[in-house]
Structure 1
């Protein structure tokens, strides 16, 4: 069977073993069912996730003009501390920014390759942790807007990492840590504006990924440089497809590429 569509990040279902789904426009693939099967990935063209035009992807699935114009690629997306909707200040589209920024946000600790701090909308828990390949995570604070989450993250990342080492995550080179102890240790560094939102009593969430074999030396597939690749799928973790020959493919970082998948 051959399926074709524009890549968007895989949808996930939190189950005993995470279920992954790839929306290929006219087809909906459960990637778990393809594990231990040989599949071929081929680059076809580009399709901007915003304007839908066949234009080279610049960042985050958008062509260059859309990246600098669409409200869902504003700087506050990657840097929540730059959010200004709570001040009634527009960046690109105030109505959109209010809708996204003025809702409950979580500052969390996740352990994927190491303990890191991050921010996500409450409705994105645990999806955000799954996308990062975290095998355990815990909420620290729940605040009413993105700005408060952002300044809390900025304060805490002075004392804990804010990045994931994707190679370590994919090699499963991880150690279990006590995130409750980490949460308590970081409590004193939460900014005054957010201290009242500290979550006193909660436990770790544990996540189990569908991986049958972890790569010892993961090598990233670039479909632009290598327009066709065939391999045996042996697992999915984070937003990565993992193949038997230790090739890995990050679906999220290739959003906006139109590909065909042959099973």
Structure 2
């Protein structure tokens, strides 16, 4: 029996990818639980920032923290709103400079279909793993988050920027030539970022530990079903996939304190 507050699983880019769930005093190697019955029980809430027992609002934070802390500011989801390069504060300039003024990657990833996205260079390939992408490629490497954001905004006029999580989890995906698509999108990169285009790179391919994909996914909500058990058949993105077609999004349940037992 393990009890702890859920945070997104950490990963190791192996073949297949290794997943670890931090339960406070213990790390669980989730790959070792494949084909075993797991019971998950909701205990209470715990905000990832203030650690108080308050209902989770978004991203693992209670409502007051979500609207106050820099980790949940608008520029996190919309990089084009970044202002640290102008020395302008949003919520906490020191934090914003630390995160925004470092190398960022604009990339293509194929998890349900090809989409464009942004991540810090230090988060490659973790970001792709978290999205359940089986292949990905970098387009530009820029020195700050703002340049990555305006590049993404320009490119998503010509390619998707969202993942269809149901297609990703049923593995209803096809391989694409990301090098060709990267080169086709080059013409749409904003002038400020054109010099940062990456040439002569190749796709990164990722293998997920999945024994059986669901035919039709059923999403587990701890708010509606506080106690669940099932046989773990796979892990993809930040989802646990069970034999009865139930899927559980760890990332979407950050801040939920749960007990997990393994049979």
Give the TM-score category using the shorter length. Answer: over 0.9
Partner of 2:24: 25
Residue 156 (structure 2) pairs with residue 157 (structure 1): yes
Match of 1:151, SS state, is helix
Partner of 1:58: 57
Partner of 1:237: 236
Match of 2:71, SS state, is helix
Partner of 1:117: 116
Q: How does 1:214-253 map to 2 (within 5 A)?
A: 214-253=213-252
Partner of 1:207: 206
Q: How does 1:165-176 map to 2 (within 5 A)?
A: 165-176=164-175
Kindly provide the CA deviation profile for residues 45-93 of structure 1, in whole angstroms up to 9, marking residues without a partner as x.
0000000000000000000000000111010000000000000000000
Q: How far 1:123 moved relative to its partner?
A: 0.2
Q: Which sections of structure 2, spanning at least 5 residues, go unmatched?
A: none
Kindly provide the CA deviation profile for residues 113-158 of structure 1, in whole angstroms up to 9, marking residues without a partner as x.
0000000000000000000000000000000000000000000000
Distance, in Å, in 1 between the alignment partners of 2:70 and 2:63 is 13
Match of 2:152, SS state, is helix
Distance, in Å, in 2 between the alignment partners of 1:62 and 1:197 is 35
Match of 1:168, SS state, is helix
Paired positions, count: 262
Partner of 2:130: 131
Q: How far 1:244 moved relative to its partner?
A: 0.1
Distance, in Å, in 1 between the alignment partners of 2:28 and 2:119 is 26
CA RMSD of aligned residues (A): 0.3
**Displacement over 2 Å in runs of 4+:** none
Match of 1:41, SS state, is strand
Provide the TM-score with structure 2 as the length reference.
Answer: 0.99
Match of 2:48, SS state, is coil
Match of 2:235, SS state, is strand
Q: Which sections of structure 1, spanning at least 5 residues, go unmatched?
A: none
